[in-house]
Amino acid sequence: MSAGKEAARAAILARVRASLGRGPGEAARPDELARRLAGGRPNLIPARSRVGAEERLALFVRMAEEVAASTVRCASPDEVPGAVGAFLAGHNLPSELVMAPEVEGYPWHAAPTLTLRKGRASKDDLTGLTGAFAGIAETGTLMMVAGPKSPTTLNFLPDNHVVLLPTGRIFGAYEEAWAELRRQSPRRPPTTVNFITGPSRTADIEQTMQLGAHGPRRLHIILVGPDAPPGEAPPGEEG
Amino acid sequence: MMISKAPIRVGLFVTCLVDLFRPSVGLAAVKLLEDAGCVVEAPLRQTCCGQPAYNSGDRRDAKAIARQVIDLFEGYDYVVVPSGSCGGMLHEHYPRLFADEPAMARRAEGLSARTFELVAFLTDKLGLERVDARFEGAVAYHDSCSCLRELKVRDQPRRLLSTVEGLTLAELANPEICCGFGGAFCVKYPEISTRMVDEKIEDIRASGARTLLAADLGCLMNIAGRLHREGDRIEVRHVAEVLAGMTDAPPIGGR
Amino acid sequence: MERTSHAFKESAVRALQDATLQMALGNMRVGFVGKRQKARERLPEFERLCDLARDIKDHTLKHLDFYLEAFEARVKAQDGEVHWCRTPAEARQVILEICQRVEARTVTKGKSMIAEEIALNEFLEANGIEPVETDLGEYIIQLAHEPPSHIIAPAIHKTREQVSDLFFEHHRQYGKTRRLDETRALVDEARQVLRPKYVAADVGITGANFLVAETGSVVIVTNEGNSDLTRTLPKVHIVTASIEKLVPNVEDVWTILRLLARSATGQELSTYTTFASGPRQEGELDGPGEFHVVLLDNGRSDVLGTEFQDILRCIRCAACINHCPVYRAVGGHAYGWVYSGPMGAVLTPMLIGIEEAGHLPNASTFCGRCEAVCPMRIPLPRMMRHWREREFEGGHSPPTFRRGIKLWAWLARHPRLYGPVMALAIGLMARLAGRRRRFRVLPLAGGWTGSRDFPAPEGQRFMAMWRARRAARGGP
């Protein structure tokens, strides 16, 4: 850091401390602050999502559809390729998809008509296909975690976004899903975590809601269960 | 019910607007309180609650006036105010004004705890459920911002009004929106104020009411003034006049 | 950005007479208020969450130095950079240096009030870098060369027809020669025009809704997804944020996020809530190569510990603006700078001075609706009054007004004089008004009688009647 920037930093911190009536390093009760900084303790989780697994799934579906996402259930991974094909056919979409490497384990060979490309999205891709780290029933929200097998561009660039979500991955509240993320990634948070609630929208012209502002116009969630696909652990018991 | 007990001594803080512009409201307040069994006194040296100074940023004068009010009204069981904004001043803001003077702050807290808006006092403290009054026609009640949000007075006047014989209550479409009075605001920013009162008047007309009531003379003078300028014949009165059955005086600003 | 807050009164009058603007503002009457109310009713825990959110922010502000340093350490550990900037000039310079180092020619931008506060677009343009606003509302007003008029709906003052004209004029260069009327078609065209810009941009600049000390994350909330494309596609992601955006941990963020969208648009949650925690890591297929957080103070540190500290809890949801009758009458531009409505009336004097922005905290009836709907429980009217106090004490309020208040206060403090003087005045007024009982004109009261009749006093003081009654009953 240059001398000028170091000076700005020092000046701002000094001014903050002076206004708060404290000297440097004089933070009150450091233990308490350290505990707070570590996180992990939810403040208040609304009662809405404090329900059993079956109701939680129903709540997820209801809330997601309320914000204009579409959902469909597949009893097992074997049905997924057909469900993807049905979505594309239902909207007259070409059968080319760009796919996140994380979902290559599904039995795609069962649907030879689908053309799947693995990788990040480019601006000409019409349909993206991804998994999801979790679903959050409270608001029908998808939690997408960036990584080598789950590029972020797939969530935003294509016009249509198809998401494969194992039903065993539906949590009640955001905090519970984040706790699971902390367990899996204790050293640092992933580069990018997107919480997605319905397709992209804007009301910037005369307060009239339009879908598909810059992100996807369609968000299609395929709920896969009861069996979770390999490598995906079901969420822990919630309190 | 109250015969066996010592009667409640009420100090009436009549407010400067009622004192100077509409003494009828003061008389109506006295009648309502006495009918409910209170002994009413109005300290003669009262003037104003200090709001004009307070809301203009003149904290020093506001404090001096507040001190005077606290001195005058300290001895009563309750202080009753026929206005939400002046009531709010005593109830909400006096303690805050003296935050840096512990002794005065305690006195201000004491006054605050004993201060009530007139209608809320009748219903909430005295348990009044009905009034013995008659008023013909459709009436709309305008919630002043201070009654609604500072003192949480909303249902009380409606409850009592519904017991007035001959009266039907009409609701305004947007009861939570300010009428645009705002003290000095209405003369400092008259164009904005006028737009706001026009929207209020639109709601009043749409309600079908022939009379508009409220608990704050500031709002009432603003609304009456605009109605008259627009040539409208809707009459404007303080809610206490109707509840007390004292509607012989011409409405605010005349007919 | 040009400052016209001192001319609020004149701008407000113009705004009231502007039929197109009034039509555009009419659209907000139906939307925001009812939707917020419904969302609030649907969440029984709403009010408790507000209390918690207030406490979270109060705690953070009380230990802001600790959390700022913790956040910085986290960002650095995750290969990002934090740039501390005292002033808008320092922030602009930092951003320019980054852009120049990577030889940026175009920059995409997500909505950022801090970028507005530091007037970033003009500065980048002056230095040969093209900023492209990607939020649809921001894009519209960028085409119109106007500042935003609302913190979450920057183009709320524009009608569809005006947007249609703007697109017709500016999209010709992209081969779009048809004039569009439908909102759907306008949105689609903006999408088509902006798509290649996202891909071509060298740097993406976004704002931040929260900075999380625990994780070194920047939380970015949008409905359009534009900020995510702005972050993900270019080589460099720069975040502009002010120091009070800090929140201790992820759970704290979620408590406040449950209030943000509900208070803003009445949504349960905005479409996209993104936790951005550094540049692309090894093996990842996309994401920015560099991650910079530009932390702006711009006078906020001075506000800590003062009677204005509570405004630093503000999360820019705009509930106060959406419920403000003054804003609804005149729109956002009249406020003359970046922020408008009640939060602007408190924040603007803090950032550009009470001498420039004195009108803003005065142009309020203290109706209190802003405070009632503020999810962070910010006592906005109280703080507007504090500004009036500073103005009055500093001698900045208009002299005739000061004299009037002083005279009234003096009289009110001298009851023996007040009584007879007032009795004389109201007696005279009542006689002058006669049976009409009101005035069409009144000397020195033009502010009132310009648009309203002035109701005449009944003629006698209540206190005089009371004295007479007491005497008749043999009282003291």
Contacts of C452 in chain B (CB under 8 A): 194, 197, 222, 225-226, 228-229
Is residue B99 one of the residues assigned to a domain? yes
Q: Tell me, what CATH number does B174's domain have?
A: 3.40.50.11810
Q: Each residue of A68-78: pLDDT tens digit?
A: 999 999 999 99
The answer to whether A8 contacts chain C (CB < 8 Å) is yes
On whether both B177 and B223 belong to a single domain, the answer is: yes
Bin C187: left if φ > 0, else alpha if -120 < ψ < 50, else beta: alpha
Output the pLDDT for position C209: 98
Is A83 within the bounds of a domain? yes
Q: Establish if C25 belongs to a structural domain.
A: no
Task: Tell whether C230 and C362 lie within a shared domain.
Answer: no
What is the per-residue pLDDT for A24? 65
Say if residue A118 is in the same domain as residue A195.
yes
Same domain (yes/no): A9, A62: no
Cα dihedral value A116, A117, A118, A120, nearest 10: -130
Same domain, C260 and C370: no
Residues C380 and C238 in one domain: no
Same domain? C365 vs C432: no
Is C197 within the bounds of a domain?
yes
Look at residue B137 and tell me if it is in a domain.
Answer: yes
Indicate whether C281 belongs to any domain: yes
pLDDT beneath 50, residues of chain B: 1-2
Q: Say yes or no: B120 and B218 in one domain.
A: no
Both B148 and B100 in a single domain?
Answer: no
The answer to whether residue B249 is domain-embedded is: no
Nearest by CB: A20 against C31, C269, C304? C304
Indicate whether A148 and A75 sit together in one domain: yes
Q: Is residue A233 part of a domain?
A: no
In a domain, B108, yes or no: yes
Please, where are the H alpha helices in chain A? 3-20, 30-38, 53-66, 80-90, 153-156, 174-184
Please, are residues C33 and C322 in contact by the beta-carbon 8 Å criterion?
Answer: yes
In a shared domain, residues B106 and B140: no
Out of B124, B157, B175, pick the residue that ends a domain.
B124
How far out from the chain centre does Cα C247 lie?
A: 20
Flag whether pLDDT at A94 surpasses 70.
Answer: yes
Between A and C, how many CB-CB pairs are < 8 A? 270
- Predicted pLDDT at A228: 43
Q: What pLDDT is stored for residue C31 in this prediction?
A: 86
CB atoms within 10 A of CB C120: 25
Chain B residue closest to C418 (CA)? B47
Backbone angles phi, psi at C177, to 5 degrees: -110, 0
Judge if A192 and A219 occupy the same domain.
yes
pLDDT value of residue C444:
84
Pick the residue from chain C with its C-alpha nearest to B236. Answer: C455
Same domain, B72 and B153: no
Query: What is the rounded average pLDDT of the residues A183-207?
Result: 96
Subunits with 3+ C-beta pairs closer than 8 A to B: C
The CATH code of the domain that includes C262 is 3.40.50.10420
Residues of A numbered 202-221 whose beta carbons fall under 8 angstroms of chain C's beta carbons: which are they?
A: 202-208, 210, 212-216
Please provide residue C201's backbone torsions phi and psi, each rounded to the nearest 5 degrees. Answer: -65, 145
Same domain, A7 and A58: no
Range of C209's domain? Answer: 32-298
Sign of CA dihedral B202, B204, B210, B211: negative
Same domain, C385 and C426: no
In this predicted structure, the answer to whether residue A233 has a pLDDT above a threshold of 60 is no
In sequence order, which residues have a C-beta less than 8 Å from that of residue A122 and are 6 or more positions away?
A98, A153, A157
Asked if residue B182 and residue B160 are part of one domain, the reply reads yes
Residue C9 lies in a domain: no
Residues B120 and B14 in one domain: yes
Whether residue B106 lies within 8 A of chain C, CB to CB, comes out as no
Asked if residue C351 and residue C233 are part of one domain, the reply reads no
Mean pLDDT by 10 residues, chain C (476 residues): 92 97 83 94 98 98 96 98 98 98 98 97 98 97 96 95 97 95 96 95 98 98 97 98 98 98 97 98 97 98 97 98 97 97 98 96 98 98 97 91 94 96 97 96 92 97 96 78
CB B94 within 8 A of CB B111: yes
- The residue among B102, B124, B146 that closes a domain is B124
A window 174-203, beta carbon within 8 A of C: 174-175, 178, 188-203
C positions 377-416 inside 8 Å of B (CB): 382, 385, 387-393, 397, 401-402, 405-406, 408-413, 415
> Quick check: A188 and C78 CB within 8 A?
yes
Q: What is the pLDDT of residue A58?
A: 96
Residue A177 lies in a domain: yes
Chains within contact range of chain C (3+ C-beta pairs < 8 Å): A, B
Same domain assignment for residues C205 and C347 = no
| Spatial CA neighbour of C204 closest among C112, C84, C275, C88 | C112
Same domain, C420 and C444: yes
* Residue B136 located in a structural domain: yes
The shortest C-alpha distance from A19 to chain C (Å) reads 5
Quick one: B23 and B120 in the same domain? yes
Q: How far is B96 from B112, CA to CA, in rounded Å?
A: 10
Cβ contact (<8 Å) for B44 and C387? no
The CATH number of residue B30's host domain is 3.40.50
* Residue B255 belongs to some domain of the structure: no
B52/C409 Cβ within 8 A: yes
Q: What is the pLDDT of residue C474?
A: 77
Quote the pLDDT of residue C241.
Answer: 98
Asked, for residue C309, whether it belongs to a domain, the answer is no
Minimal Cβ distance to B22: which of C372, C415, C458: C458
B134 lies in which domain range? 129-243
Task: Measure Cα distances from B48 to B19, B44, B65, B72 in Å.
Answer: 9, 12, 7, 12
Both B177 and B102 in a single domain? no
Residues 6+ apart with CB under 8 A from B78: B8, B9, B10, B11, B114, B115, B116, B121, B125
Residues A218 and A141 in one domain: yes
Query: What is the helix (H) or strand (E) element at residue C16, kind and residue range?
Result: helix C8-17
Which residues constitute the domain of residue A215?
Answer: 51-224
CB contact under 8 A, A27 and C305: no
Distance CA C228, CA C134 (A): 10
Domain count, chain B: 2
Do residues C273 and C410 both lie within one domain? no
Cβ contact (<8 Å) for B150 and C368?
yes
Q: Which pair of structure tokens corresponds to residue B234? A: 């809707």
Cβ separation of C249 and A38 shorter than 8 Å?
Answer: yes
- The alpha carbon of residue B150 is apart from the nearest alpha carbon of chain C, in Å, by 8
Is position A178 within any domain? yes
Q: Please tell me the distance in Å from B160's CA to the nearest CA on chain C.
A: 25
Q: Are C411 and C387 part of one and the same domain?
A: no
Number of domains in chain A: 2
**ipTM of model:** 0.96
Question: Which residues in chain C are contacts of A192 at CB distance < 8 A?
Answer: 231-232, 274-277, 287
A31 and A145 part of one domain: no
Same domain flag for C391 and C408:
no
CB contact under 8 A, B20 and C426: yes
User: Quick one: pLDDT at residue C172?
Assistant: 96
A13 and A59: one domain?
A: no
pLDDT above 90 as % of chain A: 85
- Evaluate whether residue B151 is within a structural domain: yes
If we measure between CA atoms, which residue out of B156, B123, B128 comes closest to residue B141? B156
**Would residue A101 count as lying in a domain?**
yes
Mean pLDDT of all residues belonging to chain A: 92
User: Which among C370, C397, C424 is the end of a domain?
Assistant: C397
Are B18 and C462 a contacting pair at CB < 8 A? Answer: yes
- C382 with C330, same domain: the answer is yes
State whether B233 and B143 are in the same domain: yes
Residue B1 in any domain: the answer is no
A62 is a domain residue: yes
Sign of CA dihedral B80, B83, B87, B89: negative
C364 neighbourhood in chain B, CB within 8 Å: 182, 185
C-beta separation of C152 from C317 below 8 A: yes
- Domain assignment present for residue A236? The answer is no
Neighbours of chain A (3+ CB pairs under 8 A): C
Q: Using CB atoms and an 8 Å cut-off, which of residues 445-474 of chain C contact chain B?
A: 445, 447-448, 450-458, 460-463, 465-467
Q: What is the structure's pLDDT at A1?
A: 56
Last residue of a domain, one of B105, B124, B143: B124
User: A193, C233: Cβ pair inside 8 Å?
Assistant: no
Which residues in chain A have their CB less than 8 angstroms from residue C201's CB?
A: none
Domain assignment present for A209? yes
Domains in chain C, number: 3
